[in-house]
Amino acid sequence: MSEQGERALPRVIIVGAGFGGLDAARHLAKVPVQVTVVDRNNHHLFQPLLYQVATAELSPADISAPIRGVLRAQRNAEVLLAEVIGVDTKARMVHIRERTDGEERELAYDYLVIATGAGQSYFGHDEWAEFAPGLKSIPDATAIRRRILLAFEEAEMERDAERQRALLTFIVVGGGPTGVEMAGAIAELAHKALARDFRHIDPTSARILLVEAMGRILPAFPESLARAAQGALRRLGVRVRTNAPVERVDAGGARIAGEYVPAHTVIWAAGVKASPAGRWLGAEMDKAGRVTVGADLTVPGHPEVFVIGDTASATQDGKPLPGVAPVAMQQGRYAAKVIAAWVEGKPAPGAFRYFDRGYLATVGRNYAVGHIWRLRFTGLLGFLIWAGVHIAYLIGFRNRVLVMLQWAWAYVTAQRGARLITLDEEPRGTRAIQRAG
């Protein structure tokens, strides 16, 4: 395609190469537009398996793929490694800062798709982030992995019984799918993969607490499945505490429903906050900072600007759509269809409708709960369905094969192949924890 031809085509800028942004880009492959994907990272991340990186079951490369590689064959797409710092909706310009040298410049657009995802919300207590890291990126996952593995190493050399108990206490805050899966994975790591690796401690004595402020875990699931998941966690040695809000997190542990629990490792899996997209656009936002969008996922007054995924506050049948990958992917495809219709002079599709296929959550390496359409699954069958769905959604044949092999090895041996501790930089809070001890 000539440079003159590129300039003549409508320009579509997609901010964010997560599930929604990448699906939007790929579904514009045969549309006469020039697509520019802007992301601050050079890789697409399969977030649902990020907890397995944090618990040493998978390596980061197993669940990520280079964005340029994914879009290599798409002639009408380009990728920019940059961070968006603002949007001028009047001039239809996106302001970016290049990640390589920090240079700032502008990109003109005819259509804009914002799919920037969400970060961790500490409900007004951002100071807790130092002691209770969240799980949203590969650096988050490798930092948590380092913290978990170092806890066992420090406990091996610790002679004070109280401090050793704190080192072997792990608190996961949040009873949604991420918290449930993380708690189960830590339990299996401690009770199986590490069980015979130490000489002075018994890793199976580790305490794993899953705390949830609401009345039950997995609130989006049917209550029977939530009870089944809680039973599976209990069998793995996880103590589940519901109606137990976290009141404070510090270097020594956390105060939970009035009780202070000394713990070396606290992991935050409760609550998300939207990206700054609403401020860039000057748009109406909900309490979580998500942009309020219309039925066609556009910003009111700006039919050329789509906001999708965790960044969008969208409703269907009077209920808010959940911030899960299937929603973002379907919204990305829908935005691409609307843009294609406008560019080709065809009638735009009707309002966006999310087709809910259900929910899945795994508890350990051979048990999962699932609700797909009207069918409910638990146990090994649920796990096989969960594994099949996640393999199908992974990008790239290599990643699918590697993850299947890793899971098969872990299933047979109960071992973890990615138990790597990197000490290039000091884990956040480690020295503070030592001083507190």
Domains defined along the chain, listed by start: 3-120+272-343 (3.50.50.60), 126-270+358-436 (3.50.50.100)
DSSP state of 304: E
| Cβ burial, residue 62 (10 Å; 0-12/13-18/19+) | buried
* Cα dihedral value 179, 185, 190, 195, nearest 10: 170
Per the structure block, which two tokens stand in for 116? 């920037």
Helix axes 325-343, 19-26, angle to 10 degrees: 30
Q: Which one, of 8, 18, 13, 214, lies nearest residue 116 by Cα?
A: 18
| Structure tokens belonging to residue 263 | 């713990």
Query: What pLDDT shows up at residue 431?
Result: 40
Distance, in Å, from the CA atom of 437 to the CA atom of 424, rounded to the nearest integer, reads 24
What is the mean predicted confidence (pLDDT) over 139-151? 95
For 308-395, strand residue ranges (E) read: 312-313, 315-316, 319-320, 359-362, 368-372, 375-377
Give me the pLDDT at residue 413, please. Answer: 78
Coil/strand/helix, residue 111: strand
Going by C-alpha positions, the residue among 142, 4, 130 that lies closest to residue 423 is: 142
425 falls in which pLDDT band (50, 70, 90)? low
Does pLDDT of 428 surpass 80?
no
Half-sphere exposure of 326 (CA within 13 A, CB side): 14
3 state DSSP class of 365: coil
Rounded to an integer, what is the distance from CA 382 to the centroid of its chain? 21
- CA dist 202 and 294 (Å) reads 55
pLDDT band at residue 95 using 50, 70 and 90 as cut-offs: very high
Strand 265-268: give its sheet, edge to edge: 238-241, 207-211, 169-173, 265-268
**Cβ density class 263-282: b for 16+ within 10 Å, e for less:** bbbbbbbbbbbbbbbbebbe
- Please, which pLDDT band fits residue 300 given cuts at 50, 70 and 90? very high
| pLDDT tens, position by position, 282-292 | 999 998 889 99
The answer to whether residue 1 scores a pLDDT higher than 50 is no
Beta-bridge partner residues of 95: 86, 106
Rounded mean pLDDT of 78-100?
97
Q: Is the pLDDT of residue 430 over 60?
A: no
With 0.75 as the threshold, say if the pTM is over it: yes
Q: Does the pLDDT of residue 429 top 70, yes or no?
A: no
> DSSP E strands: which ranges in 46-201?
64-66, 77-88, 93-98, 104-108, 111-114, 118-120, 169-173
Q: What is the pLDDT of residue 396?
A: 87
For residue 181, indicate whether it is catalytic: yes
Token match 């599930």: residue? Answer: 19
436 or 272: which leads in pLDDT: 272
**Per-chain mean pLDDT for the chain:** 92
Residue 127 exposed, middle or buried by CB count within 10 Å (0-12, 13-18, 19+) = exposed
| Helix-strand-coil split of the chain, %, nearest 5 | 35, 25, 40
**Beta strand segments in 365-432, E:** 368-372, 375-377
Distance CA(183)–CA(166), nearest Å, equals 17
| Between 214 and 8, the higher pLDDT residue | 214
The band of 433, judged by pLDDT with boundaries at 50, 70 and 90, is very low
Residue 424: pLDDT band (50, 70, 90) is low
Please list the residues that pair with 255 across neighbouring strands.
248, 260
Confidence of residue 415 (pLDDT cuts 50, 70, 90): confident
Nearest to 13 by CA among 23, 21, 4: 21
Q: What is the pLDDT of residue 373?
A: 82
Mean per-residue pLDDT for 98-119?
A: 95
Give, for 406, the enclosing helix (H) or strand (E). helix 397-413
Short-list 252, 214, 249, CA closest to 122: 249
Specify the residue for token string 């109280």.
Answer: 162
Which pLDDT belongs to residue 323?
A: 87
**Both tokens of residue 247?**
């009141």
* Helical ranges in 74-176 per DSSP H: 138-157, 161-167
Span of 140-144, 254-258, 370-374, 418-422 with lowest mean pLDDT:
418-422
- Catalytic residue (one of 158, 181, 188, 212): 181
Which amino acid, residue 283?
A
